[in-house]
Amino acid sequence: KAGVTQTPRYLIKTRGQQVTLSCSPISGHRSVSWYQQTPGQGLQFLFEYFSETQRNKGNFPGRFSGRQFSNSRSEMNVSTLELGDSALYLCASSLPEGSIGPTQYFGPGTRLTVL
Amino acid sequence: AQSVTQLGSHVSVSEGALVLLRCNYSSSVPPYLFWYVQYPNQGLQLLLKYTTGATLVKGINGFEAEFKKSETSFHLTKPSAHMSDAAEYFCAVSASNNDMRFGAGTRLTVKP
């Protein structure tokens, strides 16, 4: 099976712009989670989608949003970019409900640099 | 709510020496526990996980971890370090589907 894919891998934006990142989960996985990783804050949970619905949300401002499509692919959007949004954004997918032991499988990440 | 504490942000070992990365968790319900490894500019790769059953869990690349409920620990070990083991390691805990919390990470350096 193909792993989790994320596009683009690298992105450079300027302050005030918006950005959309894409994540394709492993085939058959219906849950997609997003994380922000920075040297100072480590791995921080953004949100999780399951069957096109946001189930969990981390402590991030409303500028961070996401959605999930019927094929389980997910996008996250960051509006009005700030310098502090520079980070590695990781997407993870996991097996359907009822699986024993939720296990998240990660993509390679999108490196966002805000200038 | 569950949480994870990784003891030691940096660990340095010599090639061939024992690797021991420490992780303590807090959870109000029986936890699921995970170790992930991250190489530079890459995503996280699952090393091993504990769900139920045997408390000694074997993972990839010769790593293993032991779930000790009495000590609320899930330390990661490898008998003999290899240069290719140099990376950052994350311990994570989950008490329900996809509510996963990560530790701050431990950077492992392997000296020749």
> Smallest Cα–Cα separation from A31: which of A89, A65, A72?
A72
pLDDT tens per residue across span A54-104: 988 889 999 999 999 999 999 999 999 999 999 999 999 987 655 556 788
Inform me whether the pLDDT recorded for A47 exceeds 80.
yes
Mutate to test the interface with B, among A6, A95, A103 (most CBs of B within 10 A): A103
Core vs surface per residue B11-39: b (16+ CB within 10 A) or e: bebeeeeebebbbbbebeeebbbbbbbbe
- From CA B7, how far away is CA A112, in angstroms rounded? 29
Mutate to test the interface with A, among B98, B100, B106 (most CBs of A within 10 A): B98
Question: Closest-CA residue in chain A for B34?
Answer: A103
Cβ pair A105:B46 closer than 8 A: yes
pLDDT at A88: 96
- Judging contacts by C-beta atoms under 8 Å, the chain B residues touching residue A90 are 43-44
Mutate to test the interface with B, among A43, A55, A113 (most CBs of B within 10 A): A43
Cβ pair A42:B102 closer than 8 A: yes
How far B64 CA lies from chain A's nearest CA (Å)? 17
How far B99 CA lies from chain A's nearest CA (Å)? 8
Q: What integer best gives the mean pLDDT of chain B?
A: 92
Output phi, psi for B37, to 5 deg.
-120, 145
Cβ pair B51:A101 closer than 8 A: yes
CA B93 from chain center: how many Å? 10
Cβ pair A42:B97 closer than 8 A: no
The CA distances from residue A66 to A52, A54, A92, in Å, are 10, 8, 14
End-to-end Cα, chain B, rounded Å? 41
The amino acid present at A103, given as its one-letter code, is T
pLDDT tens per residue across span B70-103: 999 999 999 999 999 999 999 999 876 567 889 9
- From CA B6, how far away is CA B39, in angstroms rounded? 18
Core vs surface per residue A82-114: b (16+ CB within 10 A) or e: eeebbbbbbbbbbbeeeeeebbbbbbbbbbbeb
pLDDT at A100: 59
Chain A contact for B52, CB < 8 A? yes
3-state secondary structure of B54: coil
